[in-house]
Structure 1
């Protein structure tokens, strides 16, 4: 396996000295136009997710769904920040020093960490909403109070493990090439986890959710949440999923797939930037679009109609604790 540049993993898997060091006498090709698009889109997406995160943490009442969205927003912010800095680095054509080199390593690994976490969180969101529709009594009465937070912690830990494995086995950071067999084993493991476990779970649960809700006129009209989830998942599958497939293949077939790499980065940037827009568009009223406060729009988009609430039975108020 050829030695991989660290900026490599996210920008261009070639030898670092050949690209960055002018003393080699080589001339680098012009900066791809997609990187200018990334530099334009990623700050906007970073700001959108920052505002969303502030509202979710300080201005809105939490429910099981907003807990997942909060963590998803954090993952998107980390991904957008890293890809923006790496694109700036690529554009400015910095020469790599040892300390600078390890800074780029950290950014590249954080990028993959955010991407993996986003995939796992979207799957958890889809599966839980599907279960809430299939088993509404369990969701209202038996669901653990802190299930969303516990699942998020486990998924962050899983993402950390997967990213560390890929970093250790498939990226060279000590001047020696990583083991080809070890890297291939990690690639197979990640491919199985991403495309045979999480992606099918996401697709199946989303399909069941859409079918059930279409049959339930009350649910489809009463909650914007059932539109937010499929829209977010479709956006992820179209824009972000090809990037993971490309990265798994690039270790072996970069010479064939390299030209597609920059486009996959742009698509991933679009995906992470699009989520806040989806929440706003779905949550806003058609008649009052752009006239309502952002808090009202987001509250409507994330309102959980299945969430336990106060009920009255024969004049006696029965308080059911809100699930967070």
Structure 2
């Protein structure tokens, strides 16, 4: 996603009739995502029994909540500006920097954690004996720390090397060209891992009748990765086309801001509702069990 600093002036000065509706629509998505992730975080922190999978989901929900919070603050500021609040360039730049750091950090952490979740489940399918007997107990902690650190690195490079929208004002002439190649290579790896993980888990689902548990957990992972691939990847490609001047930035940078924001918000908002639907699917729905018990029963499939 592009930085907020580079789009602040474009959004605030735009006279397009769809600016305000798009802002409200984006804010509504963020609010739904914040509510869903907030409820899920409360359940995972205080109610649901912990295991190796809930630890990953907890970290993923924190990342999604961080992204949605940063984006929500920015959209609330835009709404205030639209309805007559005085606009200071200094305040706008400071708030844009703060929100951009938050949502870039949350977004990057989320996609790396989601990739790791899919990859680990593949190892559980392909190497079940190793996973059950020899998997280090603290592996999830170390992996999550590594993903957060990777997100800090990528976010720092994006914000402090390619900040202030310079990559769109002077495409191809800044140091951030190398950063774009690096982050694009990471995205390619993420997409490839997600595709391979989805195929592996889909194949394993076909053997579900031979196992004692249902494939709900795998369906959750596949659904989350599918939402990411469908909502975020096209927006990322559009941003690269603008950066390399294949599409003219003057015409598309404003639209790209909302496309990337809405698609990424949909991606980060979808996960808690996917968990809810899957947890209530089948036996749990018929038994009328609580959401806590439904989630615990679903997450048990990871052990």
2:24 maps to 1:29 = no
Q: Answer yes or no: is the 8 Å Cα contact 2:4–2:164 preserved in 1.
A: no
TM-superposition CA deviations, 1:179-218 (whole Å, max 9, x none): 93311111111101111x1210121122112112313423
Aligned to 1:303: 300
- Give 1:112 shift: 1.1
45-54 or 288-297, larger mean C-alpha shift: 288-297
Change (3 A) 1:37 1:46: same
User: What does 1:117-196 correspond to in 2, within 5 Å?
Assistant: 117-172=109-164, 180-195=173-188
The aligned length equals 289
Change (3 A) 1:251 1:102: farther
Aligned to 1:105: 97
- Cα distance in 1 for partners of 2:11, 2:110 equals 31
- Give 1:266 shift: 1.5
- Cα distance in 2 for partners of 1:100, 1:88 equals 12
- Cα distance in 1 for partners of 2:179, 2:75 equals 27
- Structure 1 or 2, whichever has the larger Rg, is 1
2:200 maps to 1:204 = no
Aligned to 2:279: 283
Q: Answer yes or no: is the 8 Å Cα contact 1:78–1:110 preserved in 2.
A: yes
Q: Answer yes or no: is the 8 Å Cα contact 1:65–1:302 preserved in 2.
A: yes
- Cα distance in 2 for partners of 1:224, 1:263 equals 31
- Cα distance in 2 for partners of 1:220, 1:8 equals 52
Aligned to 2:264: 268
- Cα distance in 2 for partners of 1:99, 1:260 equals 23
TM superposition score normalised by structure 1 = 0.80
Change (3 A) 1:41 1:217: same
User: Which ranges in structure 1 are unaligned for 5 or more consecutive residues?
Assistant: 21-25, 308-324
Q: Answer yes or no: is the 8 Å Cα contact 2:5–2:93 preserved in 1.
A: no
- Cα distance in 2 for partners of 1:89, 1:252 equals 30
Aligned to 1:318: none
- Cα distance in 1 for partners of 2:207, 2:50 equals 28
Aligned to 1:315: none
How well do the aligned residues superpose, as a CA RMSD in angstroms? 2.6
- Cα distance in 1 for partners of 2:31, 2:292 equals 22
